Structure 1
Amino acid sequence: MSSLISVLFDPDIVFLRYAFAAGILSSISFGVVGSYVVARRISTIAGAIAHCVLGGIGFALFMQERSDSILWTPLTGALMAALMAAFIIGLVSLRAGQREDTVINALWAVGMAIGLLFMARTSGYIDPMSFLFGNILMIGPADLQLMGIMAAFIILMVVLFYNKLVAVCFDEEFLELRGVPAHFYYFMLLVLTALSIVLLIRVVGIVLVIAMLTLPAAIAGQLSRSLAGMMGLAVLFSMGFTTGGIALSFETDLPTGPVIVVLAAASYLCLLIYRFIDGRLNKTTLHSK
């Protein structure tokens, strides 16, 4: 740990400070949006959106090679694919009569397949692992600015539409009875989820982003009685997992993204075990009386 502290204060080494800053900023999106995802039970939808992002990234890299336009970047491709996937899933689940789980699974698989096909047709070596598992140590100032803007935007949306988004998570019929377009706010929730995924894949990657959108919120949900409290705790837990994962990976020379997720999963498992043991002890005490 002393070596980590010395590196943090080394003026010639900035990538680690950027990584810690990215972990703190991304925790706002992980905690707030993740709480909505867990409360609305759309973690599978979030997973499908995340995996469709690879298709957009592959297409953008393919077009970047064949076009002089500066618009084709992995970020714009990921954003395009994420919003398209969110719209399709939302439309199918609300309007069409098709089975929602079938469409979600299809998008999940097809999105990744399309991305890999476009990467195969792009000259030069492209490592899909960097997109699938991310690398928080490669975060730069531009990434931090985008994360800061995203965090501010999410906070603004929560302040403006908190009650309506809560109703979407727990009681859509209540919104409809009051004449509020519940479907609009459901799409808003999917868009917020898509935007968060796009900007957070740099931290833990496509495969692991869904874990960080659900695990901190799931832990917070076990300890809080309100959605607002759940969000606050989820943000704090996310900050702890990201900063702790960065420090642990630095000391053990392991990949940072997976370490962050394993730390979050281990914490969730410990909480479940504690709740189980505590429940059994309470039952034993009641029976003994």
Structure 2
Amino acid sequence: MTDLLAPLQYDFMVKAMLVSALVGAVCAVLSCFVTLKGWSLMGDAVSHSVLPGVVLSYVVGAPFALGAFVFGLGSVIAIGFIKAHSRIKEDTVMGVVFTGLFALGLVLISVTPSDVHLSHILFGNVLGITTADILQTVIIGGFALLVILLKRKDFLLFCFDPTHARSIGLNTTYLYYALLTLLALTIVASLQTVGIILVISMLITPGAIAYLLTDRFDRMLVWAVASGVFSSVFGTYLSYFLDASTGGCIVVLQTILFVIALVFAPKYGLLRLRKRVLAAA
């Protein structure tokens, strides 16, 4: 028992677990809307697009979160503008924008002298998170979560049936950019925990798990948050004993939960579907 409780004796581990739990909850709530809207590639685009903003913030001495948010929001606006003013489809536009900005970030990292490991932004460094970073994560994550919950009905209708949302008077353009702005804010809040590359899993996998387990959105939120918080806290805990990447452990654990749900989900799991096929035969 003493060995099992050993991680809790260190302040940095307790802080890491608490911050990971918050980020896991925020990402999980947003992942439900991302899953319904089919925006997995959009989340990938925004997460990769913030990298040059982080590097430029370091160069000018500004907070990383500011540069990340500016470039994340800028990528969203660029995608929307190019989509509206050209014949190119949205997924192609996203691919061009996020690969271009991510490549720009890698170039800036390679030519910027630094005594700070900017690679931590790529993969996260929650075990080394500072008090200022914790405060930043709490403020940004808490704000994003509050807005999502307050506007959840409008966002749900927009994700499920944008035509109906428009017909009853909702401003779908506003909801489109509001949801993408919240996506950018959530990615910024997750930088220290899992980094730019792995955050996309936290924005997709909890919603995918919940989508396999239930047809009701309120229950979907509960399942997503439960899986997101559990994998974040337990993944951080396991990383102590494995001496492995904390972000990597969190994402691997989420993937394991997804595979379990994929196979054993009571209504949509592979085993259940196989029984239906056999019964029909």
| TM-score when normalising by structure 2 | 0.91
Amino acid at match of 1:53: V
Question: Could you say which residue in structure 2 is the equivalent of 1:14?
Answer: 11
State the Cα deviation string for residues 88-116 of structure 1 (Å, max 9, x = none). Answer: 22333456432212221112211112112
Match of 2:23 in 1: 26
- Pairs within 5 Å for 1:192-207: 192-207=182-197
| 1:152-191 matched pairs, under 5 angstroms | 152-191=142-181
Would the aligned equivalents of 1:61 and 1:122 in 2 still touch at CA under 8 Å? Answer: no
Aligned to 1:5: 5
1:272 to 262, 271, 274: 262
One-letter amino acid matched to 2:60: M
| 1:183-239, Cα deviation, whole Å (9 max, x unpaired) | 110110000001000110211111100011111110011112222221221111111
So what's the TM-score if we normalise by structure 1? 0.89
Counterpart code for 2:44: G
Aligned length: 277
Seen in structure 2, the aligned counterparts of structure 1 residues 158 and 138 have a Cα distance that, compared at 3 Å, is same
**Quick check: 1:165–1:189 contact (8 Å CA) kept in 2?**
yes
Deviations 1:167-186 (A, max 9, x none): 11011111221222111101
For 2:271 and 2:14, locate their aligned partners in 1 and report how far apart those are by CA, in whole Å: 40
Residue 60 (1) aligns with residue 57 (2): yes
- State how 1:97-136 maps to structure 2 within 5 Å: 97-125=87-115, 127-136=117-126
Q: Which residue of 2 aligns with 1:80?
A: 70
Question: What amino acid maps onto 1:210 in structure 2?
Answer: I
Partner secondary structure for residue 203 of structure 1: coil
Report the equivalent of 2:275.
281
Specify the alignment match of 1:37 in structure 2. Answer: 34
1:248-289 per-position Cα deviation (integer Å, ceiling 9, x unaligned): 1111111111111111112212222331122112332344xx
- The DSSP-based 3-state class of the residue aligned with 1:201 is coil
Separation of aligned partners in 2, 1:257 and 1:160:
29
Q: Structure 1 residues 90, 62: CA separation in 2 closer, same or farther (over 3 Å shift)? A: same
After the TM superposition, which of the residue ranges 90-99 and 205-214 deviates more from structure 2?
A: 90-99
Report if aligned partners of 1:22, 1:139 keep a CA contact under 8 Å in 2. Answer: no
Who is 1:255 aligned against?
A: 245
Aligned ranges 1:225-244 → 2 under 5 Å: 225-244=215-234
- TM-aligned CA deviation for residue 32 of structure 1: 0.9
State whether residues 227 and 257 of structure 2, in contact with CA within 8 Å, keep that contact through their aligned partners in structure 1: no
Q: 1:206-225 to 2 correspondence within 5 Å?
A: 206-225=196-215
- Cα distance in 1 for partners of 2:89, 2:275 equals 42
Letter in 1 for 2:36: A
Structure 1, unpaired ranges of 5+: 65-71
Give the Cα separation in 2 of the matches to 1:140 and 1:245: 20
Q: Hey, what's the Cα distance between the residues in 1 that align with 2:186 and 2:2?
A: 34
206 and 159 in structure 1: CA distance in 2 versus 1, 3 angstrom threshold:
closer
Residues 128, 169 of structure 1: alpha-carbon distance in 2 compared, 3 angstrom cutoff: same
Compared CA separation, residues 94 and 161, structure 1 to 2 (3 A): farther
Measure, in 2, the Cα distance between the counterparts of 1:143 and 1:4: 28
Distance 1:56 1:97 in 2: 28
For structure 1, which segment, 102-111 or 41-50, has the greater mean C-alpha deviation from structure 2 after superposition?
102-111
Partner SS, residue 3 of structure 1: coil
Residues 119 and 126 in structure 1, CA contact (< 8 A), matched pair in contact too:
no
Judged with a 3 Å threshold, the aligned counterparts in structure 2 of structure 1 residues 171 and 96 are, in CA distance, closer, same or farther, namely farther
Structure 2 gap segments, 5+ residues each: none
Letter in 1 for 2:5: I
The 8 Å contact of residues 175 and 182 in structure 1, kept in 2 or not, is answered as yes
- 2:108 is aligned with what amino acid? F
